Each structure stands twice: as C-alpha cells, then as structure tokens.
Amino acid sequence: MKVAIMGAGLSGLACAIMLERNGVYPTIYESRSKVGDRFINGEALFSILTRPINDSISYLSNEYELYLKPTSHIGQMVIHSENSKATINERIGFVNIRGRHELSFENQLAEQVNSELIFNSEKSYEELSQEYTHVVMATGDASYAVKVKNFKEDLSVTLKGATVEGNFERFSVSVWLNNELAPKGYGYLLPFSDKEANIVIAFPDEAIKTDEEINKLWDRFFQTVCSELGQSLKITDQFQIRNYKIGICNAPRIGNTFFTGNCFGAIMPFLGFGQFQALLTGIYAAQDICGLGTYEQLTKPLMKSYEHSLILRRALEQMNNNTYDFLISHLDGRIGSKIFQQSTHNPLKVLSYLIRPFIKKEPRYLRNE
C-alpha cells in the first residue's frame, strides 16, 4: 500500500499521524514552502458546537493520543447585538493559533509526524493517483471536489480580519450579531495573548459585493470594537478572503480517494467552524486505510451535524437586528449559562429540529436527501 496525502494542514497531518501509528508511512505533498506558511490568526473550538463532546482537546488526546495545546481556554463570551449585550460566564471552549506561528495547530501536528513531507509541490491529484494506491485529499478547499462533481456548495463567504495589538482579557471572547456590521453574518474578537487578538467579520459573499462596501463595513466594525474596548487598537496584519466555500461532499470516499477536512465539508455553515471536524476526518480516513473502520460510516455523524448547522445558518440569514436584540437580551443571565454550560445535550441540534419548518430558503443539502 502506498499512500499520498495532498495538503499538510489539520486533516492531512492528523491523517499522517494516525497512519504512522498503524505502521503506514504516507508521503505528504504540500504546495507551500513550509507547514502553515500563511497569515497568523486565532481560531476557536466551541463545545456547544461539538457536543456531546464538550472538551475537544482532551477528547483528541484521550481517544487518539493526538496532543494539541490551545493558547487558552475560553471562560467568558460577550455577545453584542445592536442594542443588547449578553455575558456568558462558562467554560465554553478554546482559542488556538493557526498559520505561521511556531505554536500553530498545524506546526504542533507537524512535530508529531515522521513521514516524508514534500514542500512546494505542484503535483496534481491525477499524478498522485497514478503513483499511489490511496490518495487523501486534504487541500483545505473544495476546488477538486467541485471539479469532480462531488461537492454541494451551500454558501460562499467573505472574511475580513486583522491582528490587533491592545490590552485583552485572554479568557474572554466577544461576538457581534449585528447586520450593520456583518450582514447575515457575525463579527468576533479572539485574543490569543494579553496583547494580541484577531478581529474578524464574516458574511455571505452575496450580502456585500464590492471592495468599497466591504471596506466601509470593516471600518465600522473596527470603530465599534475600539469603542467597546475603550482602546485605539493597532492593526499589525490584515487579511481578506472572498469565495470561501462552505458545502459538503456527496461521497466522502470515491474508490481509494478520501475527501478530508474542507474537501469533505468540515466547515459547519452556522458559524464557520471546521477545525475539529477537519482533524476527525483525517483520523477517520487513516482508520479506514488501516482497516480499522469504514470512512463512510465514521463520517456519518459529521454529515448529520452539517445538516443541523445549515438549518441554523438559514435561520440566522432571516434575522434582523430587532430579533437579535430580543434573543441576546434573553441570553444574559441564567438562560445563557444553561445553554452554554458543559452538558451532553446539544441545544443547537434541538433548535435546528424546532425551526426547520419555519426556514424560508430550504437548505440545498436537505432538498437532495
């Protein structure tokens, strides 16, 4: 058996680690010159999105001996709407670093890999599939899955963000649900140290079309964050991504090709979280290759979560600022704590069943069922 992994990101490296544990040494092809050679950003893992698993970091180490260090846990989330604010004081997840930082998740995983890593790769999938018995697609985008008609796109997103310097409470994250700042989307602030944080707005491409409009939105968001914190934040780095595709593959495995991470459909449409799912799909693909499970079966729960998440996303798109104000005002206090505190119940799954009949734009994924 000869295994090639295309992409040395979360899913590709997690796959390589699990293969090695079972005596299979893949060759990893990475198009960049180093692991994680891109902008640095803070990302989060929220337990409310991974339940019944509350602590994804301890789950990965207990179940799979995959060790990852976040920069901190999150002990507080402040949710802002136009005229309301809710403060949730619960242990709700973790913040971690991605990209060019030595402690980024991808660099931590690369430390655990012994297989051959080929950088600056220009190998196409077609070439790899000629040379290897198994190919794991882990390129972090859906382009190949789209090309071979194995991807249902549900949403295409714009993300604009910056690394900022200031004074932050590193155990506290903030979220903005306000259509004036991020139409049909959201904004967030994730500190990854006491002095550095990421601020980002994310919204569907269709909501805002031109760069001029995006920049106006960004300026408004930046001013809002500065005035909320009472600080003049200093921008040290900036990024903008258009057409970030959110969707899911039709078949997780075709022949001996495995679609993992974002190629599988790891990003959950509701809030755009995909790290945990990316790691799991890499692990599951390795388990299948080593005869320890069936990829289609192992990924079924992720497909189901995608479906719930898409319903919540469609609901979010229908909300105006008055609805946000109403909901956020009720989240402050006991109700918010109850929803976010560690539990084996998944309130978002329940909510997705409850609101499904009221969704105006039926998710494409459900129509194909």
Ligand X SMILES: Cc1cc2nc3c(=O)[nH]c(=O)nc-3n(C[C@H](O)[C@H](O)[C@H](O)COP(=O)(O)OP(=O)(O)OC[C@H]3O[C@@H](n4cnc5c(N)ncnc54)[C@H](O)[C@@H]3O)c2cc1C
Q: Contact residues for ligand X (CB under 6 A)?
A: 6-12, 29-32, 41, 43-45, 106, 121, 138-140, 159, 161, 241, 244, 261-262, 266-267, 272-275, 278
Nearer to ligand X, 35 or 328 (CB): 35
Tokens of 204: 């569907």
Q: How far is the CB of 358 from ligand X (least distance, A)?
A: 27
Pairing of strands 186-191, 172-176: antiparallel
363 upstream amide cis, omega within 30 of 0: no
- Residue nearer to ligand X on the CB measure, 8 or 24: 8
CB closer to ligand X out of 45 and 164: 45
Check if the beta carbon of residue 75 is closer than 8 Å to that of residue 91.
yes
The CB density around residue 325, as the number of other CB atoms within 10 Å, is 17
Residue with Cβ nearer ligand X (63 or 362) = 63
CB 78 within 8 A of CB 86: yes
The residues with which 334 forms a beta bridge, in sequence order, are: none
Q: Cβ of residue 45: shortest distance to ligand X, in angstroms? A: 6
Of 174, 175, 172, 177, the closest CA to residue 326 belongs to 177
The SS3 of residue 171 is coil
Provide, rounded to whole angstroms, the least separation between the CB of residue 333 and ligand X.
Answer: 26
| Smaller CB separation from ligand X, 84 or 222 | 222
CA distance 40 to 104: 8
Would you say 11 or 81 has its CB closer to ligand X? Answer: 11
- DSSP lists the bridge partners of residue 191 as 197
Residue with CB nearest ligand X?
A: 9
Tokens of 61: 């180490």
CB of 169 to ligand X, least distance (A): 18
